[in-house]
Amino acid sequence: MRKFRVIVICISAALIIVSLFFINYMDLLSKSNLGVLSGIVSMSLIIISMYLSNKHEEKKGNKKEVS
């Protein structure tokens, strides 16, 4: 399951990089940028959740070995 999360993190990071090319930098708060910015926010939240999930699984695995 950990490999799957790492793959999701990589895909999300790639989508953030691609979406940076679609931003209209002349008017950042325009309606045309709303979809791109929400995509960047959602991919960032996915990256954070996958990272924290990996950390939690790692911590849980260490507790089983100690017990």
Element (H, E) at 38: helix 34-66
Element (H, E) at 9: helix 2-20
Widest distance between CA atoms in the chain: 58
What confidence score (pLDDT) does residue 21 get? 94
Cα 59 to Cα 34, 35, 44, 54, distances in angstroms: 37, 36, 23, 9
pLDDT in tens, 40-60: 999 999 999 999 999 998 888
What confidence score (pLDDT) does residue 27 get? 87
Mean model confidence pLDDT for the chain: 89
pLDDT at 64 over 70: no
Q: In whole angstroms, what separates CA 12 from the centre of its chain?
A: 5
Distance CA 32, CA 27 (A): 9
- What does the pLDDT average to over 21-48? 92
pLDDT at 36 over 60: yes
User: What are the residue ranges spanned by the domains of the chain?
Assistant: 2-66
